[in-house]
Amino acid sequence: MNLIRLIAVVMVSAACACAAQTVDSGVGAKTVIWSPPDVGWWDDMPQPTIPKEMIGALRVANAPIVLEETNLEDARRRFGGTIGDRGDAGDALGWLCLDGSDRDSSWILWLTSSEIDGLAIGGFQWRRLSRNETPDRRCSRIPEDKSGIDLPIALHLGMKRNEVQKCLGRPTVIRGKTFFFCHEHHRVIRKQDFSVSNDVAITFRNGAVWEIEATKTTSD
């Protein structure tokens, strides 16, 4: 009997896990979005070509988020939601998932923190949601009357390719439908020389910006 009960518990748990992945919308099942996708950075990226730092901060619902400075837990306390995590050691990633909408469609934003960032937010991913996608219940909703996402440069979802290149210049490299823009400069902190990298990846769908990812990393 104990074995039968154990099997039943496992089956119920599996059913709950499956239910967390899809939502019956009445028209069809929707994909539940929770963790940030892998945009496609690789280890042997070309030498940086962008002369200036592009995105070192952003505003979310009029609240400033400074990369490498704003604590992920502080962002959670401000916006709500649940902090997610995956991987370990150098592959570890934590995130806070937020979602909202504008006049065009719905979007989802991940504020991310990798192993090198410690407790701070080191980057973000911001992208559109397809009609068959819905944010996980652990994401926090940003009301429309609280404004949306503002970047320090004239970059936003829905832009055309020529508008992006007018804003950022020629990409460092293009892979498939993604433009990669890479910047690096040196900075002296407490008489020590550090390297500051600022990378932006922009993915297009149907000729318009579908996703924007940015990271900032300071290393010795």
The reply to whether 122 and 200 lie within a common domain is: yes
Rg of the chain on CA atoms, in Å: 19
Q: What is the pLDDT of residue 29?
A: 82
Query: Do residues 4 and 60 both lie within one domain?
Result: no
Number of structural domains, the chain?
A: 2
Residues 104, 191 share a domain = yes
Same domain, 27 and 76: no
Q: What is the pTM of this model?
A: 0.85
**89 and 13 co-located in one domain:** no
As a three-state string, the secondary structure of the chain is CHHHHHHHHHHHHHHHHHHCCEEECCCCEEEEECCCCCCCCCCCCCCCCCCCCCCCEEEECCEEEECCCCEHHHHHHHHCCCEEEECCHHHCEEEEEEEEECCCCEEEEEEEEEHHHCCECCEEEEEECCCCEEECCCCEECCHHHCCEECCCCCCCCCEHHHHHHHHCCCCEEECCEEEEEEEEEEEECCEEEEEEEEEEEEEECCEEEEEEEEEEEEC
One domain, residues 70 and 162: yes
Residues of the domain holding 118: 34-219
13 and 72 belong to one structural domain: no
**62 and 9 in one domain?**
no
Same domain as 67, residue 39: yes
Residues 116 and 209 in one domain: yes
Mark residue 89 as left, alpha or beta (left: phi above 0; alpha: psi -120 to 50; beta: remaining): left
Nearest to 145 by CA among 63, 60, 61: 61
49-103 pLDDT tens trace: 999 999 999 999 999 999 999 999 999 999 999 999 998 877 889 999 999 998 8
CA dist 50 to 54, 181, 188, 208, Å?
8, 7, 20, 22
Amino acid at site 108: I
Q: Residue 158 region, left (φ>0) first, then alpha (ψ -120 to 50), else beta?
A: left
Whole-Å CA distances, 8 to 12, 21, 147: 6, 21, 47
In whole angstroms, what is the distance from residue 54 CA to residue 167 CA? 10
- The pLDDT assigned to 21 comes to 52
Residue 172 pLDDT exceeds 80:
yes
Same domain (yes/no): 29, 56 = no
Average confidence score pLDDT of the chain: 87
The pLDDT of residue 4 is: 37
Residues 5 and 85 in one domain: no
